[in-house]
Amino acid sequence: MSIRLIGANPGLTVSDGGRRVAFASVWRADWSQAGSGRAVVLWHEGRTRALGPDPTLALWLAKEFTRHFPEVAGLHWPEPEVTVAPVDMDLDLTAGLWASAADVTVMIDGPPLERRACRVEDFGLGGIPHLLTNVYMPCPTGTLAVGGVPVAGDATHAFLADAEVWSGPASG
């Protein structure tokens, strides 16, 4: 196994009546096989978007990682629309996250409810097992806005994930 990515990946799911309405995955790639930088991957209203200053990195994160997360399992996942835009991000492991890219804003409110070291030996990315290690921190609430309009829902699942390392096959 080789390391594929080192960084952070906070996320936010918005649900309404038990139905997933949106999922936002915010990335800080300190190092990866596709380079370093920041990106936001968004699934909302049947669209998938990959936003970031490096379109190759944003698309790689959307297709190779976020697409295979349990938060989007079973959802229609069309080819991601790429938006080249800077990602402003303030990740504070005591207070939460604020991130913005183009017309998408993600806020995760802390402080975290707990902090736990996680190790998943066989996280499936496209049917290929990967080793995932990170520090996972569920948070009380979060909000997502698209085009300046809050995404409505009756529940959110928000988390911070840092010290994240994905290991797997050298290519893929």
Which helix (H) or strand (E) element contains residue 60?
helix 55-64
From CA 3, how far away is CA 85, in angstroms rounded?
A: 27
Residue 171 has pLDDT above 70, yes or no: no
Q: What's the pLDDT at 172?
A: 46
From CA 50, how far away is CA 127, in angstroms rounded?
A: 22
φ/ψ of residue 169, rounded to 5:
-60, 150
Q: What's the pLDDT at 169?
A: 81
Question: What is the tens place of the pLDDT at every residue in 132-163?
Answer: 999 999 999 999 999 999 999 999 999 999 99
User: Domain total for the chain?
Assistant: 1
- The C-alpha torsion from 55 through 56 and 58 to 60, rounded to 10°, is 160
Question: What is the tens place of the pLDDT at every residue in 48-95?
Answer: 999 999 999 999 999 999 999 999 999 999 999 999 999 999 999 999
From CA 146, how far away is CA 119, in angstroms rounded?
A: 33
Instruction: List, as one string, the DSSP characters of 87-114.
Output: EEEEEETTTEEEEEETTEEEEEE-S-S-
- Residue-number span of the structural domain to which 55 is assigned: 2-168
Average pLDDT over residues 97-105: 98
Judge whether 134 and 152 are in contact, CB under 8 Å: no
- In this structure, what token pair is assigned to residue 19? 């139905």
pLDDT confidence bin for 170, thresholds 50/70/90: low
Residue 2 has pLDDT above 90, yes or no: yes
How high is the mean pLDDT of the chain?
A: 96
Tell if the pTM clears 0.95, that is, is over it: yes
Q: What's the pLDDT at 33?
A: 97
Residue 18 region by backbone torsions, left for phi larger than 0, else alpha for psi between -120 and 50, else beta: left
Q: Count of CB atoms within 10 A of residue 34's CB?
A: 18
